[in-house]
A and B are shown apart, each in its own frame.
Chain A
Amino acid sequence: MSRARLIQRLELQGLRLAPSQVWGQVRLVPVLRDEVRGDLRFAHRNYGDALSAVTLQRELAAPGLKYVSYIPHGLVMTWAHRQTEAVYGTRLQSQDGKKVEAGPFSVRLLHRMVHREDRNQLRMLPLHLAMEGFLTRYFCGPDIAWSEYSRDGLSRGLNPRGEASIPGWASFALDGALRTFELHERQVGLLLFNADELLSAFIVAHPHDYRSLHRTLLEDFYGDLLLQYGYLQVVGDIGLRLDASQVASVADLRAQVARMREDWGTFHGLMSGGLFGVEVTSRKVYEAGPFLLQHFHTSLVPSEENHLGEAITGPDGTLEYLKTYRLSAAQTRRAYLLQQLAGSQWNLDDTAKALGSTRPDLVVRLHNAGFGYLLKPHVLEEAQRSMARGR
């Protein structure tokens, strides 16, 4: 049953896009929800630590796989009617994980990305959840011991694996944009564009929660497009005009303004076409009552815009929560290669054939993407030599 409810395609069903507000090169598009269910609430939990280590397997602080990152805040999700209203706005700061002092800094040890705290309460680490899911999925290394792979590659896979991202406060413009942004009454989310490239989408279930979570967008992390277009001064002004010939009364004027407003929504929908309406691959993370928490990613084809993220869908399949991350071009390339390798059981020849290229070409590509250490040195050298000869 839950399989059927996994997201196949992200849709903005039940949500509306309002006209954007622009600050420098940042364009923020409000997402409005007309019908609020009210039985799924989110609260903000602050971690003031320099670093957090999340235990992914077994007990807290036991040896095993860890996810280490700077995690400034978590989200506490509560569902089912009676409890949500009581929890909203109260400060239930239960002991979350364990704090370890390391010199002048503190490190927080957290148990799992998603941690059930009470019958109807769940703590999760937003965006880190999606990122971790993404890393686990493709970055596991060969599962058949082909002779080309190095010993380290076979025994440990790609561990330790790392991905770099950029915190929101690295961009001065984003800070200004979030500060001066005027929230709508029914606003539950935001699409964030930098130089008119969709960077991230954030949607929650309730307008009050959005209001209190708005500033946390500054602490989230984004793909490197946030800085790449950082020096662009302003994004272009889109002048939508009213059609004067259609107007004979104030009522006509009103209709024209309503049309203008709709045009803005359609236009933003068009601009975010790389995320909404495209096919996604998703996986279940947690079933919380009627709600299904899942993470997903788009096609990972390098020539397209690629996003990964996490979402919660309600019983009728509506989007109740969404947070996405735009993969950078290099990240997409890496993920794509690994995805292709995994698809062919890590056989180099098969993968090369599937990609429509040659084995030496694939080996060099792997090396360029930073996975050279997976292969035995002589395999790499041979490929580089044959590439040089070919040239």
Chain B
Amino acid sequence: MAVAAEVRVEQVAREDLVMFVNACFSCTGQREFYGDARGQSVSIEFLHQYILGNYRRLYRRTLAAGINHFNQAQIILNLLAIGSPVDVQERREEGALISAALRRLPPQRAFRVLESLRSRRINNRRARAIAREYLSSRADLAFDAVKYRAKLRAAVVHGHLKLEGELGPFLFHGWKKRVYTQPLLETFRKAHFAQEALYELPYTVAEGLAQKHGVPRDVFLQRIEPRLTQAERLRLQESAARDGAEVPAVDLSRAPLTKLCLYVLALKDEVRLERRDELHTALERASARVLARAPATLGRVAAVLDNSYSSSGSIQKRRRPLGVALASHYLLGASAREYRAFWTSPVDDPLRVVARGQSDLATPLLAALEWGPDLVVIVSDGYDNDPPHAVAELTRVFRERLDPGRRTALVHVNPVFDADEYAPRSLGEAVATVGVRDAEDVPTVLGFARFAEGTASLSELERYLAARVASWLDREPRKGEPTREEEES
């Protein structure tokens, strides 16, 4: 009796954790095609509180599981809010995890976490120590002070931190102080009075000041061009063309895979056709770079990719599900020995795919199964409407009658979080569902899929997370080698 209860407890714990990690891969609290933002954030907040209350150790270790930045920030804040654990060993691990995670976040997100400490009224000794440590780890704090001035000031005031040299006066007096010796700070001060100084500043700071000076948009964009970061260039493509400015050149060879896919999907069809080779090579290189960091060698792989209308995402996550599908197509193509893609509405050229039509997952899945692959990866939001529940039934019967020995692995990769179910929507019992935000997560979540399937035990999951924590804390990002996070920022 006691044994049965124990087994049940373990099962509940495993299911809870799998659900949580899955949610942490996909949910960003933003609006989705089928769900609104409010529902999303209520749902994910509840999950965080529930897991933190019941499984604190595993909750913090999730930080190392490769989850998305939004959830990393949430975990950091929630851990800082409840204070440090009593046990020395635990305390040390938690501290190390929090500070490592904070350092690896893109700076704007990390500073946002520090700022949130104030709005959530978290001000314990550990929170202050973490903030101090983070600021001391920054390579160029003067640059941060200019770019993230309000956030940095909030962190400094809230944590009673001391900053060296001119940074203190800069944060509190800004351009009203007479003169600075630090060149960047001095430029910032000057830019409030002279247009010329604008173009020495980071783009986001200069943008507001240009407005103040009444600089025409096209002139401003043209002159600030050399200061633009990769992400800003990518982001500005459309609006620059609209404002009549010269479109800033993007170095496609450096852009991360999923971002690149979203960029491609935002292009008009004729542009995609015209630049086909260039885009294709860029996508191939980007996926090769992902694989160089997280190698994955797969056998015979079939991908069932959903390009139905719902993959157009929402106003906040425009075309993201489709972008993830396209990125997965390139990534799986690069990592598999043999690869074939099956789209829900067939496309001649994946580069020219659009979100259109109903979600008929059954037909491409049947075609994929006919081919006889070792692994079938379904990239879909989990809404299967032509006919409804066809995939659930199809896979159930397939497992029962045609493949009881599990020769073919079935994995459903879902980029959309379903707020009502507290998890990415699943495609029935026979397919393991894992959440992702970027296609770059796919190699990670394929490793995680065996937990989602329910065949692995809780202790295995604990060991998996512990191993990830160890390797994660060991492998501090080296200088000069850009991490994925930095690349994206």
Contacts and interface: CB of A to CB of B under 8 A. Distances in A.
Interface of A: 18-22, 30, 180-185, 238-242, 244, 247-250, 253-254, 256-257, 260-261, 264
Contacts of B148: none
Nearest to B388: A19
Most B C-beta atoms less than 10 A away, residue of A22, A248, A250: A250
Contacts of A182: 308-310, 357-359, 385
Contacts of B390: 257, 260-261
A183 B309 CA distance: 8
14 contacts: A20-B388, A22-B388, A182-B359, A184-B357, A244-B396, A244-B401, A250-B369, A250-B402, A253-B398, A253-B402, A256-B397, A257-B362, A257-B366, A260-B387
Contact of B358 (A18, A249, A256, A260): A18
The 8 A-B residue pairs with the shortest CB-CB distance, nearest first, are A19-B387, A182-B309, A182-B358, A242-B393, A244-B397, A247-B401, A250-B370, A21-B385
A180 B394 contact: no
A182 B308 CA distance: 7
A250 B366 contact: yes
Nearest to B368: A250
Interface of B: 33-34, 308-310, 345, 356-359, 362-363, 366, 369-370, 385-390, 393-394, 396-398, 400-402
A239 B389 contact: yes
Contact of A257 (B308, B356, B359, B394): B394
B401 A248 contact: yes
A180 B34 CA distance: 7
Contacts of A180: 33-34, 310
Nearest to A239: B389
B358 A184 contact: yes
B395 to A, nearest CB: 10
Contacts of A242: 393-394, 396-397
A21 B383 CA distance: 10
Contacts, number: 79
A20 to B, nearest CB: 8
A147 to B, nearest CB: 62
A208 to B, nearest CB: 13
A185 B357 contact: yes
A17 B363 CA distance: 18
Contact of B402 (A240, A247, A264): A247
A240 B359 CA distance: 17
Contacts of A20: 385, 388
Nearest to B34: A180
Nearest to A261: B387
Contact of A253 (B308, B356, B358, B394): B394
Contacts of A240: 387, 389, 393
B400 A253 contact: no
A239 B308 CA distance: 22
A193 to B, nearest CB: 14
Contacts of B369: 250, 253
Nearest to B345: A185
A254 B397 contact: no
Contacts of B345: 185
Given A250-B370, A253-B366, A30 B358 contact: yes
A344 to B, nearest CB: 50
Contacts of A181: 309
A180 B308 CA distance: 11
A254 B363 CA distance: 8
A4 to B, nearest CB: 38
A20 B359 CA distance: 11
Contacts of B386: 18-19, 184, 261
A66 B33 CA distance: 44
Given A18-B358, A180-B33, A244-B396, 7 more contacts: A183-B309, A184-B358, A244-B397, A253-B366, A254-B366, A257-B366, A260-B390
A264 B387 contact: yes
A296 to B, nearest CB: 30
Nearest to A176: B34
Nearest to A187: B358
A182 B380 CA distance: 14
Given A182-B357, A183-B357, A260-B387, A253 B397 contact: yes
A367 B363 CA distance: 59
A241 B392 CA distance: 9
Contacts of A250: 366, 369-370, 402
Contacts of A22: 388
Contacts of A253: 366, 369, 394, 397-398, 402
A248 B403 CA distance: 10
Nearest to A256: B397
A270 to B, nearest CB: 16
A386 B402 CA distance: 77
Contacts of B396: 242, 244
A95 B10 CA distance: 73
Contacts of A260: 387, 390, 393
A249 B370 CA distance: 9
Nearest to B357: A185
A374 B440 CA distance: 75
A239 B396 CA distance: 14
B391 to A, nearest CB: 10
Contacts of B357: 182-185
A264 B393 CA distance: 15
Contacts of A244: 396-397, 400-401
A241 B309 CA distance: 26
A4 B116 CA distance: 75
Nearest to B389: A239
A206 to B, nearest CB: 17
Most B C-beta atoms less than 10 A away, residue of A20, A182, A244: A182
Most A C-beta atoms less than 10 A away, residue of B366, B387, B389, B393: B387
Contacts of A30: 358
A264 B356 CA distance: 22
B146 to A, nearest CB: 43
A76 to B, nearest CB: 25
A14 B34 CA distance: 33
A239 B392 CA distance: 11
Nearest to A181: B309
A261 B393 CA distance: 13
A22 B308 CA distance: 16
B33 A241 contact: no
B324 to A, nearest CB: 18
A250 B394 CA distance: 10
Contacts of B388: 19-22, 238
B363 to A, nearest CB: 8
Contacts of B310: 180, 182
A361 B434 CA distance: 67
Nearest to A211: B356
B393 A241 contact: yes
A259 B106 CA distance: 52
B170 to A, nearest CB: 48
